[in-house]
Chain A
Amino acid sequence: MIATRDSYGEALADFGSVYENLIVLDADLSKSTKTVTFKKKFPDRHINCGIAEGNMMSVAAGLATTGKIVFASSFAMFAAGRAFEQVRNSIGYPHLNVKIGATHAGLSVGEDGATHQCCEDIGLMRTIPGMVILNPADDVEARAAVKAAIMLDGPVYMRFGRLAVPVINDKPGYKFEIGRGIELCSGEDITIIATGLMVPEAVKAQKLLDSDGIKARVINMHTIKPIDREIIIKAAKETGVIVTAEEHNIIGGLGSAVCEVVAEEYPVPVIRIGVEDVFGRSGTATAVLEYYGLTAKNIYSKVKNAVFLKRQNN
């Protein structure tokens, strides 16, 4: 079990040796975002911007105009929320090489409560032209996402979590490619498309469903933008119904992105599991996730219901 924010910090420290032009910015949260791991190794290339996220994003943009690879980090709430307009105008519009490492995304922030539980960031970032959005599920994927972001010339929004999550991608043959979803289990009855920490929950749900005789396909959608249209259309055609699962508002995130593709290409029912357009609240991360239904159990029951309706209609 390891939080993707830890993987992020370690990956930055690793790639810092390879790329001398890699600069990391933080806004007084380096111990929480884990950019402190990079700072210990490369103190001169770690720039603390203080509690001023708007300035940090525009500074990142300025650095990027001179050929630096810039990682700018804060909590998702402040990186995508507070500094949205700086990200949009200073980074997005000139398509600059800035990577936003947003940690503490979603409800699993836990005890800090609603003001810090950002469930809107994917929606916000998705509307910026040219912005790539990566939402890794575990340690392996988080490190791969950082590497892929470095290799890409342009803005990338990366979403990391505070909560330690299981490692599921430590398998031979695992390949991270921006914009390509990963099919974790095959199945013809229904497709579960999950992202971030909901991926292991989807895998757990699939096992429960399997014992009930339901063959669910599970897709790990680590890239929200550009979304893998092909894998969605294939799932719509072959399984006829899709359930999405994300630690984000069901408005604007993965569920919306999947609906957009399906509606345009091959309309089938889509059931969105996520935060149902409400604010979060305080509690331990697991208690909060349970409270808002971001669990294998909820995926299981929503899928059962969807498959029942599908069979009734056939």
Chain B
Amino acid sequence: MDKTKKKELQILACKVRIGIIEGVFHAKSGHPGGSLSAAEIFTYLYFKEMNVDPQNPHDENRDRFVLSKGHTCPGLYAALSLKGFFPWNEIKKLRHIGAMLQGHPDMKGVPGVDMSTGSLGQGISAACGIALSAKLSGADYRVYTILGDGELEEGQVYEAAMFAKQYKLDNLCAYVDFNGLQIDGKITDVMSPLPIASKFKEFGWNTIEINAHDFDEIDAAYTQAKSVKGSPTVIVAHSIKGKGVSFMEDQASWHGTAPNSEQYKIAIEELNAALAELGENK
């Protein structure tokens, strides 16, 4: 990836993080930790990888995205808004009664959301269905999904893993946000889904491990995924929960907690400083 593109993506990831904090703060609830850890992947998918057009959100040939870990939609919403699917102002109405943006993604109400999700384990299956549809129709769109590492405790994930291999869904690319934490603590303390990559490998998937916060590695992984025939790909991305906001980093307690006014101020200041460092004015 050239340096200009990489910098553009880094700036956008920073703006996605600002959107996450804005949304969750104004909602006084929501899930900042796992949204922040996935800021780079949301950014990469919408600004580099996927063929989507905010002017034509239902285009039959568009690439599809399913947020299997639906609770981290503040990150998705920020990316969609930055891409032009809806005004930024909606972010500040997240989770408010009568507002467009629900606590979990609602495909009927939000332009750009391809599947309603929120109940863990179901999104990857729906992504399989979308990918299978392309195979049946000879369409060449690709399907992307993001799972949480805690989500891998849901048995349905492995039903989907078998299905995707059985039907050779090489147009499906899953991404596991491996931040190591879930609501009740470390994934290894609660119910370890480890090892992740080798599990998927045994199910017949192409597997790639990367650093979730490095756009070069993300880019290389998605490029490689597209070259694989006959197998779905999973990208296991080592991430830091709460990434980008110092006091939220690597803390399970920020899984589903909103910042108070003081914390909000600090978080936004930190993110604006990061933007400035990238040469971008807020």
Contacts and interface: CB of A to CB of B under 8 A. Distances in A.
A54 interface: yes
B122 A45 contact: no
Interface string B35-71: 0000000000000000000000000100010100000
Interface in B102-120: 106-108, 114-116, 118-119
Contacts of B126: 58-59, 61-62, 65, 90
Interface in B83-121: 106-108, 114-116, 118-119, 121
A68 B130 CA distance: 10
A4 to B, nearest CB: 27
Contacts of A94: 106-108, 115-116
A8 B155 CA distance: 31
B156 interface: yes
21 contacts: A23-B136, A49-B163, A50-B166, A52-B156, A58-B156, A59-B128, A59-B132, A59-B163, A61-B115, A62-B126, A65-B115, A65-B126, A65-B130, A85-B119, A89-B116, A90-B119, A90-B126, A93-B106, A93-B116, A94-B107, A94-B116
Contacts of A186: none
Interface of B: 60, 64, 66, 106-108, 114-116, 118-119, 121-123, 125-134, 136-137, 155-156, 159-160, 162-163, 166-167
Given A54-B121, A60-B129, A63-B130, 11 more contacts: A50-B159, A54-B159, A59-B126, A62-B66, A65-B114, A65-B130, A66-B60, A66-B130, A86-B122, A86-B125, A90-B122
A207 B266 CA distance: 80
Interface in A47-77: 47, 49-50, 52, 54-55, 57-68
Interface residues on A, range: 20 to 34
A162 interface: no
A147 B130 CA distance: 25
A95 B108 CA distance: 8
Given A59-B128, A65-B130, A54 B156 contact: yes
A44 interface: yes
B137 to A, nearest CB: 8
Nearest to A90: B122
Contacts of B132: 47, 59, 62-63
Most chain B beta-carbon neighbours within 10 Å: one of A59, A65, A67, A90: A59
Interface string A84-105: 0110011001110000000000
A-B pairs, 7 with minimum CB distance: A62-B129, A58-B125, A55-B159, A62-B126, A52-B159, A59-B129, A66-B133
B152 to A, nearest CB: 15
